[in-house]
A and B are shown apart, each in its own frame.
Chain A
Amino acid sequence: GESVGLHLPTLSVQEGDNSIINCAYSNSASDYFIWYKQESGKGPQFIIDIRSNMDKRQGQRVTVLLNKTVKHLSLQIAATQPGDSAVYFCAELTQGGSEKLVFGKGTKLTVNP
């Protein structure tokens, strides 16, 4: 069935280091992928997205990499800050199909000062 999974449930990094959060997906028909950040007491917040015709997309301090061959998605956060501490979810969607996002379990990122 469709699933989006995470390799690590928790990740702890030092402030200033780079963080890499990984995600595996199983639906080869998915063609649109999103990373969300969820802070305590708040809903998921859009960070960055990537479509399947790309393998890399950069935002402000964040980069998403997509490897369709192995169905792997990653989120890289440069110079991680305490404010980056949150749970990060990847999600996938098949454009033109159902509107439902399929989320992974999430990775809790803790940034140590």
Chain B
Amino acid sequence: EAGVTQFPSHSVIEKGQTVTLRCDPISGHDNLYWYRRVMGKEIKFLLHFVKESKQDESGMPNNRFLAERTGGTYSTLKVQPAELEDSGVYFCASSQVFVGGSGANVLTFGAGSRLTVL
């Protein structure tokens, strides 16, 4: 089966511009997660969708970040306007069931979208 697909793989933008990252989860996976790794630091949770609903968005850093999952399929993460500290790698992951109940081996990560803000 196809894995989690993220696009673009790398985006370079100027401070103040807008960028939209896209994630296509594994087909049939209701749970979709966004994480990001700022350079040299830990991977941090951003938010969790169950189908089209935001289950947990406690990790979203500020209102410059907007995540959507219309129709419960693919998801987008928009950063507007981008700041220098937004640079990093944004990972998407999906699972069919809750990780907490079933174990992390049900969770599949995408390769990430690297964002560079100049």
Measuring CB to CB, which residues of chain A are less than 8 angstroms from any residue of chain B?
Answer: 4, 32, 34, 41-46, 49, 89, 91, 93-106
Contact = CB atoms under 8 A, between A and B. Distances in A.
A99 B104 contact: no
B42 A100 contact: no
Given A32-B100, A49-B104, A99-B31, A105 B42 contact: yes
A41 B104 contact: no
A interface: dominant SS: loop
B100 A94 contact: yes
Residue among B31, B58, B91, B100 with most chain A CB within 10 A: B100
B30 to A, nearest CB: 12
Nearest to B41: A105
Contacts of A98: 56, 58, 100
Interface stretch (B11-19, B62-70, B73-81, B105-113): B105-113
A103 B58 CA distance: 15
B interface: dominant SS: mixed
A84 B56 CA distance: 34
A41 B41 CA distance: 17
Contacts of B42: 4, 89, 103-106
7 contacts: A43-B4, A96-B101, A99-B55, A100-B56, A103-B35, A103-B43, A106-B43
B105 A49 contact: yes
Given A43-B111, A100-B33, A100-B56, 7 more contacts: A32-B104, A43-B112, A98-B56, A99-B100, A100-B59, A101-B35, A103-B44
Contact of B111 (A41, A93, A97, A101): A41
A42 B99 contact: no
A100 B4 contact: no
Given A100-B59, A103-B43, A44 B109 contact: yes
